[in-house]
Amino acid sequence: MASLKSKKLKSIPAEITVPGDKSISHRSAMFAGLAKGTTIIEGFLPSEDCLCTVHAMQALGATVEPLEEVEGVGLVKLAITGNGLKLKAPTKPVDCGNSGTTIRLLAGILAGQDFKTELFGDASLSRRPMKRVSDPLGLMGAKITGQGEKICAPLTIEGGPLKPIYYKLPVASAQVKSAILLAGLFAPGKTTVVEPVATRNHTERLFTHFGIKWLREDDCVSVYGGQEPRATDIVVPGDISSAAFWMVAAAASPGAQITLKNVGLNPTRTGVINVLLRMGALVTNSETHSDGEPRGNITVRGGDLNATVIGGAEIPNVIDELPILAVAGALARGKTLIRDASELRVKETDRIAAVAQNLRAMGVTVTEHPDGMEIEGGAKLQGATLPCWGDHRIAMAFLVAGMFAEGTTTIEGSECISTSYPGFEHHLDLFLLGDTGAPPIPVMSGIPQPLAEKLSQKHA
């Protein structure tokens, strides 16, 4: 089991370019695999999670070709050639790894196919509830079975003719919304999803980018069946959820300044900026591109942070950033309250329990609630050896916390970071060793070798 260590930060680098957006990379690969023709995806995130999606689309009949130059491990070009909405039956179960996005969105796509598919994942994914997806897809006509009352993976999906539905989401979830809308492409007529709270809209934006017409009316999102995605190239912006770790590190360092380059600025994902502004950080952003997804640079200047309340309608907008925002709360003056975030209980791990336990181990007073926690800021953090329960965001959040602690903080099981942030260790070194202390990430000609090997595997 790998481990990473953190200690008091030495410097704040002037600029960092984070890897491509995880959510958009997943969806881009799926849409490209559903379109007739070739789509070039630039800036694709070559993380384990996103590679699971690429492999799945290969197994379902798409052709994947690695392209051109890769700088470090974050900027990747892939060409994916699809054969349209009618996919090929895989010859074996499809491995979704640790990726909830892969298994839930694929369930929507496979619901409309005329064959049976098994989707499975690792131990963490196999504990996550899939009933929230199987219920609406079952109403549309698919037959989905899984393990236990929560319908956990492995899932067996028997697709077939679907009918459109009007479905009110019981819990705000972009993944469930996306699964239903993708299934709606295979159902004649209008499929509508009603959101209790607006969630990230990457699927809808990609509908537009790939030529699919959809409609937003108040809290309802609708799509008409029978439309086929049109192959079209796409640029994936940097992931704001990855940038958030360095944003908090800079925000909690008075006098520091960092610029995150080419980051996605989709308004349904920028809640972390609003939270840090409320806490007293100086954050500015400048949109430089708006094709498909808005993107640009984010600059953060550090100062003394103050406590805040994070809850209500903004929770879906910051759900992935809550672990690192909890660390910001520990570094702020006053009591920070996170509420209305029970969804954290069913992520890669129970993130409420995990964050509370690790903060306490570092000397922070935390009161845990069913839907969140109250964090008393201002305590002097102490380095500790901490578990991350196989959760990449917990691992990265507490490596950042270690930058503000006395002594050394060791995160056990840190290999899970590769599910979302290849190159994280190098960027961590920029903070811990300074700009001249860390070895540069090499610029490679062609695709990174591990990725090339994975993409060259046969997925018959």
Considering 135, 320, 371, 391, which one is annotated as catalytic?
320
3-state secondary structure of 356: helix
Task: Give the mean pLDDT of the chain.
Answer: 92
Residue 427 confidence (pLDDT) above 50? yes
Residue pair 32/41 in contact by the 8 Å Cβ criterion? yes
Residue 336 in tokens: 């920070």
pLDDT digits (tens, 9 = 90+) for 100-158: 999 999 999 999 999 999 999 999 999 999 999 999 999 999 999 999 999 999 999 99
Q: How far apart are CA 124 and CA 391, in angstroms?
A: 9
Strand 309-310 with 282-289, pairing = unpaired
Check: CB of residue 273 under 8 Å from CB of residue 265: no
Instruction: Work out the pLDDT band at 287, boundaries 50, 70, 90.
Output: confident
**Band of the pLDDT at 423, cuts 50, 70, 90?**
confident
State residue 391 phi and psi, 5-degree precision: -110, 115
**Torsion angles phi and psi, residue 23, rounded to 5:** -60, -40
pLDDT score at 434: 79
What pLDDT was estimated at residue 454? 46
Q: What is the pLDDT of residues 193-228, one digit of tens each?
A: 999 999 999 999 999 999 999 999 999 999 999 999
Quote the pLDDT of residue 70: 53
Q: Residue 221: its pLDDT value, please?
A: 98
Which of the residue ranges 301-310, 399-408, 427-436 would you say has the lowest mean pLDDT? 427-436
Residue 441's pLDDT band, with cuts at 50, 70 and 90, is very low
Q: What is the rounded CA–CA span in Å between residue 260 and residue 255?
A: 17
Identify whether the C-beta of residue 57 lies closer than 8 Å to the C-beta of residue 63: no
* 300 exposure class (CB count in 10 Å sphere: 0-12, 13-18, 19+): buried
Q: What's the rounded Cα separation, in Å, for the pair 339 and 342?
A: 8
The total of other beta-carbon atoms located within 10 Å of residue 329's CB is 31
Active site residue 320: yes
Mean pLDDT of 305-311: 98
What pLDDT was estimated at residue 213? 97
